[in-house]
């Protein structure tokens, strides 16, 4: 087994002629895990410190161990992160088998067994859930769109753009930034307009442009959503640090 140490030990040399593709390396798995986000915090599970370890055998058997800030973190979001991790790692060329283990959680067994069996949430929590988690995920993507809109608008407002001018702006008129790309990605995930001609300020449910008299409150709403998510992420990081002394895989100093 190759264990990806913090700072990145060199991966073991690939085994020859054992798998159809060359086995994937732990950094490759970690890169895939960077695309998995905590749906509530809208941040990668890597930078949040949730990846406890990530190993790959010479034959391409990957094991990812995840950890969360508390024993009682909400099981629906925990399930989504474990299932998403399973999906992105499974999709890597050279991976033969994937095992994702959520550690130290009250519902570890239900989640780990359910994801391994690809059973879905309803079957994994028999009698306790009615639907799969798509609608929950979409609700939180909408919050991410509101928070992301604040991230894009704040610097513009600070530079002197008026709220009324923001109302008239299209995505194409906003100077390129990481925040803008991120906002476009979140909008795209929901099927909301993302083209250059699309308005910057839209309703995250209907996609309709915001009405002129609704702008101040809309911007306030975007701001409080961002504050809420970021404050929550701050508390989660503090709790995780109290629970585990070691940093997670892919967690940078500034993330802590």
Partner 1 sequence: MYESNGERYFVVDGHMHYWNAAPDNWVPGAEKYAEGWIKCFHAYQGLGPPETHWSLEHFEKYSEEDLMKDVFEDGYVDVAIFQPTYLKEWYKEGFNTTERNALMGEKHPGRFVYNTRWDPRDGDEGLEQLRRNVDRYGSIGCKLYSAEWNAGSRGWKLTDPAAYRYLEACQELGVKNIHVHKGPTIWPLDKDAFDVADVDHAATDFTDLNFIVEHVGLPRIEDFCFMATQEPNVYAGLAVVIGGLMHARPKFFAKVMGELLFWVGEDKMLFGSDYAIWEPKWQVEGFVAWEMPDDPELSDYPRLGVAGKKKIMGLNAAKLYDIKVPDEFQLPASAGTPGAQEVLGQEQPVAGA
Residues at the site binding partner 1, with contacts judged by CB under 8 A: 40, 69-76, 106, 121-122, 125, 128-133, 135-136, 139, 142-143, 146, 154, 158, 202-206, 208, 210, 214, 217-218, 220-221, 223-225, 227-228, 230-232, 234-235, 238-239, 241-243
Say which residues have a Cβ less than 8 Å from residue 39's Cβ, sequence separation at least 6. 77, 80, 81, 136, 137, 140, 141
Query: How is residue 213 annotated by DSSP?
Result: G
Q: Which residue in this structure is represented by tokens 């790309």?
A: 181
Query: How is residue 8 annotated by DSSP?
Result: -
Minimum distance between the CB of residue 38 and partner 1, rounded to whole angstroms? 11
Minimum distance between the CB of residue 141 and partner 1, rounded to whole angstroms? 12
Minimum distance between the CB of residue 43 and partner 1, rounded to whole angstroms? 13
- Dist CA 195 CA 192 (whole Å): 10
Minimum distance between the CB of residue 174 and partner 1, rounded to whole angstroms? 19
Nearer to partner 1, 194 or 239 (CB): 239
SS3 assignment, position 124: helix
Determine the angle formed by the axes of helices 134-158 and 215-243, rounding to 10 degrees: 110
Nearer to partner 1, 8 or 238 (CB): 238
Task: Please answer whether residues 181 and 237 qualify as being in contact, where contact means their C-beta atoms are separated by less than 8 angstroms.
Answer: no
Minimum distance between the CB of residue 44 and partner 1, rounded to whole angstroms? 18
- Dist CA 87 CA 120 (whole Å): 12
Nearer to partner 1, 55 or 223 (CB): 223
Burial class (CB in 10 A: 0-12, 13-18, 19+), 34: middle
Nearer to partner 1, 165 or 208 (CB): 208
Nearer to partner 1, 30 or 133 (CB): 133
SS3 for 60-101 is CEEEEEECCCCCCCCHHHHHHHHHHHHHHHHCCCCCCEEEEE
Nearer to partner 1, 24 or 45 (CB): 45
Nearer to partner 1, 53 or 225 (CB): 225
- Dist CA 109 CA 119 (whole Å): 13
Helices vs strands, H then E, count in the chain? 8, 6
């Amino acid at each position: 087994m190759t264990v990806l140490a913090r700072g990145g030990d060199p991966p073991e040399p690939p085994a020859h002629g054992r798998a159809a593709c060359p086995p994937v390396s732990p950094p490759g798995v970690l890169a895939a895990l960077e695309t998995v986000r905590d749906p509530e915090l809208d941040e990668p599970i890597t930078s949040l410190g949730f990846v406890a370890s990530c190993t790959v055998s010479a034959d391409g058997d990957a094991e990812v161990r995840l950890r969360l800030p508390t024993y009682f973190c909400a099981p629906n979001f925990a399930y989504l992160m474990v299932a998403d991790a399973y999906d992105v790692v499974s999709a890597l060329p050279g991976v033969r088998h994937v095992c994702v283990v959520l550690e130290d959680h009250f519902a570890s067994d239900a989640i780990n067994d359910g994801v391994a069996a690809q059973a879905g949430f309803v079957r994994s929590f028999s009698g306790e859930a009615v639907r799969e988690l798509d609608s929950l995920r979409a609700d939180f993507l909408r919050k991410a769109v509101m928070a992301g809109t604040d991230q894009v608008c704040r610097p513009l407002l600070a530079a002197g753009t008026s709220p009324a001018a923001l109302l008239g702006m299209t995505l194409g008129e906003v100077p390129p930034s990481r925040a803008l790309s991120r906002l476009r990605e979140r909008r795209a995930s929901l099927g909301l307009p993302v083209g250059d001609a699309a308005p910057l300020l839209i309703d995250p449910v209907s996609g309709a442009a915001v009405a002129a008299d609704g702008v101040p409150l809309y911007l306030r709403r975007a701001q409080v959503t961002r504050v809420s998510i970021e404050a929550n992420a701050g508390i989660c990081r503090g709790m995780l640090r109290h629970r585990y002394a070691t940093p997670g895989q892919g967690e940078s100093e500034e993330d802590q």
